[in-house]
Amino acid sequence: MLSTSSSAGGEVSRVDGPYAEAKEVVGGWAIMQYDSLEEAVADQQEFAELHAKHWPEITVISTLRQISEGPEAPDA
């Protein structure tokens, strides 16, 4: 599941997919762990809403991507 939330001009929008355009700056990244997809999407939406409220003059795009934890360790 990939999801993109953005805030611009005080408005927040969310679309499925990572296909947002990066015209100026890609600011950073974070790896976070959630118990459910719904919790991750809700937190991403809150992140975008906070930026829309406090910095309405900028455009913020956040992309939600699922990553795997890797294989189980072999038994010793």
Is the residue at 76 inside a domain? no
What's the distance, CA 68 to chain centroid? 16
Is the residue at 40 inside a domain? yes
Is the residue at 49 inside a domain? yes
Is the residue at 56 inside a domain? yes
43, 33 Cβ separation under 8 angstroms: no
Please tell me the pTM assigned to this model: 0.53
11: Cβ contacts below 8 Å, ≥ 6 apart: 52
Is the residue at 35 inside a domain? yes
pLDDT of 3-49, one tens digit each?
Answer: 666 667 777 777 665 555 555 555 677 888 898 889 998 998 898 88
Containing structural domain, residue 8: 2-65
Is the residue at 72 inside a domain? no
Is the residue at 70 inside a domain? no
Identify the pLDDT of residue 39.
Answer: 93
Which residue matches tokens 């294989």?
71
Identify the pLDDT of residue 63.
Answer: 80
Number of domains in the chain: 1
